[in-house]
Structure 1
Amino acid sequence: MSEPVRVVAAGDHFVLPGLIAQAVGKELSDERPHETREVMLGWPLEPFGPVAEVAEASDAEDELIEALAGAQVLVTQMGPVTERVLDACPGLKLVVVCRGGPVNVNLDAAKRRDVRVCYAPGRNAAATAEFTLGLMLAVLRRIPQAHELLARRRGWEGAAYYTYEHSGVELEDLPVGLVGHGAVGSRVARVLCAFGAQVMVYDPYVRGEVHGLRLGSLDELLRRSRVVTLHARLTAQTRGLIGARELALLPQGAVLVNAARGALVDEAALCAALGSGHLAGAALDTYAHEPPPPDSPLFAHADRLVLTPHLGGASRAVAEKAARIAAEEVGRWVRGEPLAHCLT
């Protein structure tokens, strides 16, 4: 009998180690014998951040090195796969990251050691799209503010939102601009069309007609849209994509929604646009620095904002999908099949 495949399921309080182990067990049930060791990392109850030379990881190099002794496979979401970890674990052959990109892995170091690195694209597309629509409805109809007045302060002052001056905006016939038309943006577009919104898309990687939606330049989209929602990846080119100039192009009283990456937006410029009244509001799930510092200027505009702590991808289905996608890659590797989502 061949030696068992030794897998470390370094999960966390979202993608639970048990979910990973269960998915791997199901995938490998008819394959080689396997042993799975479960390790619980602290995220999201403990913050993530840069660890050594990698970004967005749990500070758990020592814990990971200990767990990986004798292992060939690591499945994780936040485990820091640094040069130090790779040096200490020469038997490691496959790393599968349960997220949309392996930002917690030193890809160059892994490639030098012939360690394959996979990830789980699309795991949270549906959840983030749904959450984006929730943010949009919340800010347009002032749902959190009304809840605060009635449930927290136990007053009926929120009825003022029924006056013409303070009432909200509906999506039907509303010009809405989407910056980005990938896995998330395309889902948001479909739902907005079902609401009857006038949807326009800016995406430099999309050519021709997109399911009947109008395409345009970023400037044209900003000038025409009462609501703009961001769905672009964060790159050197998109960092600060929406700054003072871009916000000034929006019509008076427009709304910005961002459940993508915080650094797409110049937060100082956003605060200035809110303070001047040029923007009626904004809904943010992501921030330039997470969490925002207590003295962030954003909090001074809380009456115009809907703020959530990076929850767009937080659904049980996302955790289950991530574990399943990762386990499928482990199964392909064990069977010697081509890996589906591999970067090294």
Structure 2
Amino acid sequence: MNTPVRVVAAGDHFVLPALITRALTAELPEPPPDVRELMLGWPLEPFGPVAEVREASDAENPLIDALSDGREVLVTQMAPVTERVLAASPGLRLVVVCRGGPVNVNLDAAQLHDVRVCYAPGRNAAATAEFTVGLLLAALRRIPQAHDLLAGQRSWQGATYYTHEHSGLELEDLPVGLIGYGAVGSRVARALAAFGAQVMVYDPYARGEIHGLRMPTLDALLRRSRVITLHARLTPETRGLIGARELALLPRGAVLVNAARGPLVDEEALCDALADGTLSAAALDTFAREPLPAGSRLFGLADRVVLTPHLGGASQAVAEKAARIAAAEVGRWARGEPPAHALC
């Protein structure tokens, strides 16, 4: 292609428009792309349903304006690629979403308008795996609670956590069960193995060698695990995967960590298990409803839970990887090569 690719880089305060432009320029140096940058409000402004798409910034009009001169390519994380946007942008041929799935794109409308849609799988696998291990360590050793006592209340009573009754568990020789062994779960398994944990894995879809002991059933994994970490995809089959029955199979005083998807766990059953001592602790980055409602029972269990607001994928490297993956797809499209990650 001898003419510059004309792109709208609809970034936000995480995947910055400038990161997208830089990645596109590196991917397409001659001639350099003609990039129009658009800044969307996420995460400083909330996302949600926009028209018929999910998890998008409410920015249909600014996006239509940015695409109005017949630009062929849109690279974005949160822009709402709705039927209205597609119908108003007849020159658009490619949309690349800087996320693990293009939930902000109307795929049926994209096909109707002959627009190819690509995405960026694996962009946050390393970050989420590291965050999961961090949550696990924080829960096992009561790090946030001790910090709050000392830094927040200026109290040395955190020394209570040095008593045998209240001191935490260590990872070495600890039986840890992983539910799911994809891009994130496999990284967590390797990290825990380096700590010396006894890693066990349940994933009926995992193939090949794994780092740890493969368990034949979920029940078998739960009965042997002092800690469980969740790494499964959210599907109709896995929604509510861990409920009251499953929690009751764990050894008393076990710990649950979830940085995958909130609805994998029955939150009411989890709170019951924390309240009655079935679980000694939980660490959660995702929840059944987000933002976490002010009336959630989890806030009343603060001495036993570590709560973070869905930050597992929040690293600078994730934003940079997402921009590079997206730019590579634009480069393939410009050169007439097959895409690596396309849904339509």
Name the TM tier (shorter chain). over 0.9
Q: Is the 8 A contact 1:200 1:216 kept in 2?
A: no
CA root-mean-square deviation: 1.2
In 1, the alpha carbon distance for the partners of 2:182 and 2:84 equals 35
3-state SS in 2 of match to 1:303: coil
3-state SS in 2 of match to 1:46: coil
In 2, the alpha carbon distance for the partners of 1:27 and 1:207 equals 34
Quote how far apart the aligned CAs of 1:18 are.
0.4
Aligned to 2:123: 123
User: What are the Cα deviations for residues 161-205 of structure 1, in whole angstroms up to 9, with x where unaligned?
Assistant: 000000000001111000100000000000101111111111110
Quote how far apart the aligned CAs of 1:210 are.
1.9
In 2, the alpha carbon distance for the partners of 1:76 and 1:19 equals 11
Residue 62 in 1 paired to residue 65 in 2? Answer: no
3-state SS in 2 of match to 1:129: helix
Q: What is the TM-score of this pair, normalised by structure 1?
A: 0.97
* Residue correspondence of structure 1 range 122-271 to structure 2 within 5 A: 122-207=122-207, 209-271=209-271
In 2, the alpha carbon distance for the partners of 1:170 and 1:182 equals 25
Q: Is the 8 A contact 2:182 2:206 kept in 1?
A: no
Moved over 4 A (4+): none
User: What are the Cα deviations for residues 278-315 of structure 1, in whole angstroms up to 9, with x where unaligned?
Assistant: 11010000111111111111111111100001110011
Give the aligned residue type for 1:41.
L
Quote how far apart the aligned CAs of 1:207 are.
4.1
Q: Could you list the runs of 5+ residues in structure 1 that have no partner in the other structure?
A: none
Aligned to 1:29: 29
Q: What is the TM-score of this pair, normalised by structure 2?
A: 0.97
Q: Is the 8 A contact 1:209 1:215 kept in 2?
A: no
In 2, the alpha carbon distance for the partners of 1:9 and 1:152 equals 42
3-state SS in 1 of match to 2:303: helix
Instruction: Name the count of aligned residue pairs.
Output: 343
In 1, the alpha carbon distance for the partners of 2:49 and 2:267 equals 22
Of 46-55 and 89-98, more deviation after overlay is shown by: 46-55
Of 83-92 and 213-222, more deviation after overlay is shown by: 213-222
In 1, the alpha carbon distance for the partners of 2:144 and 2:164 equals 19
In 1, the alpha carbon distance for the partners of 2:92 and 2:187 equals 37
Aligned to 2:20: 20
Q: Is the 8 A contact 1:7 1:37 kept in 2?
A: yes
- Alpha-carbon spacing, 1:329–1:208, altered in 2? closer, same or farther (3 Å): closer
Q: Is the 8 A contact 1:57 1:78 kept in 2?
A: yes
3-state SS in 2 of match to 1:317: helix
In 1, the alpha carbon distance for the partners of 2:211 and 2:260 equals 22
Quote how far apart the aligned CAs of 1:233 are.
0.8
In 2, the alpha carbon distance for the partners of 1:251 and 1:245 equals 13
3-state SS in 1 of match to 2:126: helix
Aligned to 1:289: 289
User: What are the Cα deviations for residues 212-256 of structure 1, in whole angstroms up to 9, with x where unaligned?
Assistant: 533331111111101000001111111111111111111100010
* Residue correspondence of structure 1 range 36-115 to structure 2 within 5 A: 36-69=35-68, 70-115=70-115
Q: Is the 8 A contact 2:24 2:33 kept in 1?
A: no
In 2, the alpha carbon distance for the partners of 1:170 and 1:29 equals 51
Structure 1 vs Structure 2: percent identity of aligned residues? 78
3-state SS in 2 of match to 1:239: coil
- Alpha-carbon spacing, 1:188–1:156, altered in 2? closer, same or farther (3 Å): same
In 1, the alpha carbon distance for the partners of 2:127 and 2:210 equals 22
User: What are the Cα deviations for residues 69-97 of structure 1, in whole angstroms up to 9, with x where unaligned?
Assistant: 12110000011111111111111100000
3-state SS in 2 of match to 1:80: coil
Q: Is the 8 A contact 2:25 2:32 kept in 1?
A: no
In 1, the alpha carbon distance for the partners of 2:168 and 2:212 equals 28
Give the aligned residue type for 2:44.
L
Give the aligned residue type for 1:68.
L
In 1, the alpha carbon distance for the partners of 2:238 and 2:81 equals 27
Q: Could you list the runs of 5+ residues in structure 2 that have no partner in the other structure?
A: none
User: What are the Cα deviations for residues 112-153 of structure 1, in whole angstroms up to 9, with x where unaligned?
Assistant: 211110011111110000000000000000000000011111
In 2, the alpha carbon distance for the partners of 1:53 and 1:265 equals 27
